[in-house]
Structure formats: C-alpha cells, structure tokens
Amino acid sequence: MNGLLLLVALTSPDANAWSHTFGVWDRDDLPLEWYFGTTRADSMDADLAESIITDAFSVWTDDLACANLSVESQGTLDFAISPNQAIGDGTSGQFLNQNWADVPGVDEGVLGVTFCPQANEVIFNLDGEAYHPFVDCDIFYNGDIDWTSSADIRSGRCNNEYSLDAVATHEIGHLWGLGHSCDDPNDDGRKGDEPCDAGDLRDAIMFWSVGPCDPGPDGGFTTDDEDGLYRIYGPSCNFTVADGYEKTGGTPHDVCWDIECTAQPESVTMSFGDGQSAAIDYDLDAADNQICHTYTDKGQFTLTLEVDYLPGTCVSSSGEEVDYDPPAERSPAEILVCGDPEPAPGFDGLFTFFHYDSLDYQLVNQLDTSVYGCVETILWRVFKGGSASGEPIQEHFAWAPKLRFPSEGTYTVEIQASGPSGRVVSATLKVEAEDKRGEATKACSAVGMGATGLASLLAFGFAAARRRDD
C-alpha cells in the first residue's frame, strides 16, 4: 500500500503543547467503523474489555461535540488476524494481544500502540503542514500486561495493574490524529528535549505516559486536548475550483471558487496570492457561495482563506465557549497562470544550435522557464530542405536534443512548445549540415512564427516533455 504509516505508542513510566500526527479522518469516512479482535488478555474478561473500549470511543464522540466525531461498533471478528495482516487492510480494529512480540516495532514496556496508515493525497494544509487521510487505524494493547478498570482503581482495588480505560482513551486520541501533549525525556534521550510542565499538559489525556494503578485524568479533557482536536475537526471552511473553471491557464485567467463552511462564519476573506484579496458574505443556508478573481500576471499563486467565527460557535465539553482560532489555508490550492511560451530574458529566439562534430548538431533551448509549469510540452521536427514544408525526417521529445543529420545538405529544424494556455508557439531555423570536425560556432536565434491551436500540435502525435532541472 502506498502512503505513510503512523505508529504512536503509550509507555509505562521507567507531551510542547498538543501536537498532530498529520493524519486525519475524511468526513466522508465517518462514522468510523471499528471491530474488536478475537485475541484476549488473561487478566481481563473479554466482555468487560470490549465495554471499556466502547466507552472510551464515546468519550471522544460525546464529550467533544464541537468536533462532531462519530463511530459505529461492528462487534467482534469471527476469525483471527495477525498484526501484520490487520495493519493497512482498510478496517480499524482493537486488539488485546497475548503475543505482544508479534506487534511490529514495539518493546515490552509499551502498554498500547496505534498504527494509522495514511494515503498520499492531501485533505488540507494547516500551519504549513499537509494533512493526509487515514486508510485505517488499528490499536493493539499489550496482552502481557495486567489490566484493570479505572473504576476498580478509584475504589482502591488495584495490585500493580494498569487502567485499560486510560490507555484506550489515550490511544483513540492517536486514532483521531492527535500526538502527545508533551514528551518528557528518558535517560537515553529518546523522548523530547524539554520536560512537561505541570497543569494542562500533564493532566491531558494525550500525556505520553501512565503508571500502574493510575486511573487516568480525573477532569476529563483539558483545554490542550480540546484545542488540538478542534484545530483539525472544529468548524472550518474549505474551497474548491468551481465547475467550468480551471486551476491553470493563460493570461488573463478568470477563476471562481466554491466556499463551503461547516458552521456560519462571521467573515470569510480569500487572499489570491497576487497581492489582492476579496471578502464574501457567506450564507450557510445558501446553495452557492463563490469568490471570483482575474489574474493578469503570470506566476504560481498560493491561496489562503481567512475565517472568523461568531462567538459561541465552538463550545467545550464543560459547556464553556472555546476561544477557537480557525486555521487558514484549509485546502491545498495553487493557481498557475502563464502566457504563451516565449524566449527567456536576454534571448531573441526560442532556440539556437551549434555544430558538435561530424554531422551532429546540438540544439539549445532558450524558452523562459522562470515560472515552473508554464512550458508543458515540447516537440522538435526536422525537415529536408529550406522550409518546414519539406519531407519530415525526425521528431524529438526532449528539452534540447542532439541531432544527427543523415548527410550533408540543407535542413530545417522546427520547435513547437505549449503551456497551460493551450496555444502552441513555433519557430524554425535553417541548418547547412557539413560533415567536419566539431567547432563552437553558434547560429542566430530562431524567431517565433506565431501561435496556433493546440489541435495542430496534437495532430503530430505530440507527447509531453518537461525540463529536468540540473
């Protein structure tokens, strides 16, 4: 399976504020379906373990309503499955593994571990980082550990056992895409560089460690847990290029975006990347909410969407308003605007050539590539005689090919180049081929001969070619 693999573990003792794993569940994949594995731990009844894990899911879906998360239990598997088979199979499972050594990449001191493979596509960008959709998430609990419930621990019944409630709630936080609230360094320096401060970070459900007879946080979620989750699942606005418009094109380039928000914003402003911006009076109940812009300069432009929400849009698990700072740039978006292919500054033609050796001649491409992507396709054609109406004898799909003429004589070389505008620009040069020792004599630069429709280029069986950066 192509993609990324997230592995996050909770250890027993021998969390930087909230963090993300850069994986997230696509809203289209919710409610998240999960099942309980057939493997069991000797220290806990299977029905009790499943009940505890089910309640741990409910903590995230019921107590953090502003995130609007949802799950559905699919019951217990009717067949055994190994960890390597489970990871990345497209389904999400909860496993109490008696054979902990079979779980890849963890040691015996780990209480639980979450594996979440990620797809390569990008759902949104946040603070300069790309967030990828999870394929599935499997959580494994160490079956060699003596497990108990938080209720038993709080009632005083504990003999060096660990709370499955606390560990499951923490690992499910990883399943939603949260990292640790902070990380204390171990003696070997494998963890964070700075110790965790007291307060929200140590009291957070996403604190990196839990000890024996520790029932987990008494106060539920801290503001650190909530802030981290709401940054990726809280109210947001996304934008996509509207039907009938394209992300690339020639100048001037008109484009519109559909704006879609999960809650009524107070204001929505799009920055177009060219120094201009525009606001929209967004209406959550309207069928269409669009922003449009015309680009007059060529270049690559990155878009951002700045959103402010009304007070009270996001409410914490305790019923208090959350000081919610919605992220900008929720959707990855770039616009590429190009003119017709043209010579680079300082050159007066699309190409030139020089004699290399014998009947070999080197073509020199002089196209402007200052904006990446503005030259998409290149075709070279060679004709016998002094014009492009002669007999075609060669075609090349390369940035600057070396030509070998079949014999001495007069030939015409033509370049055809196109970009996102869809128009094709061509130019020709005449070559008097001589069979002689190499010399560094260059010809005059070729002057462009105008633009034609893309269909004329495709008629020659043109194949795309891109420049390789040296």
Read off the pLDDT of residues 198-236 as tens digits, 9 standing for 90 and up: 667 778 888 887 889 988 887 678 878 888 888 888 888
Quick one: which H or E segment has residue 225?
helix 223-233
Backbone φ/ψ region at 183: left (φ over 0), alpha (ψ -120 to 50), beta:
beta
Task: Look at residue 69 and tell me whether its pLDDT is greater than 70.
Answer: yes
How many C-beta atoms surround the C-beta of residue 75 within 10 A? 9
**Confidence band for 459, pLDDT divided at 50, 70 and 90:** very low
Q: Which residue has the higher pLDDT, 42 or 332?
A: 42
- Give the model's pLDDT for residue 287: 86
What domains are defined for the chain?
Answer: 4-233 (3.40.390.10), 237-338 (2.60.40.10), 351-458 (2.60.40)
- Does residue 416 surpass a pLDDT of 70? yes
Look at 312 and 343; give whichever has higher pLDDT: 343
* Residue 79: predicted pLDDT: 66
| Global confidence as pTM | 0.64
Reported as half-sphere exposure (CB side, CA atoms, 13 A), residue 467 has a value of 17
Q: Provide the pLDDT for residue 219.
A: 66
pLDDT at 228: 86
Neighbours of 392 (CB within 10 A): 14
Question: Could you tell me the two tokens for 413?
Answer: 């070389």
Residues 228 and 222: their CA atoms lie apart, in Å, by: 10
Q: What is the pLDDT of residue 414?
A: 98
Q: Is the pLDDT score of 330 beyond 70?
A: no
Strands 32-36 and 92-97: parallel
Q: What percent of the chain has pLDDT over 70?
A: 79
Whether the predicted pLDDT of 359 surpasses 50: yes
Query: Rounded to 5 degrees, what are φ and ψ at 29?
Result: -95, 5
Neighbours of 68 (CB within 10 A): 14
Mean pLDDT, the chain, rounded, equals 81
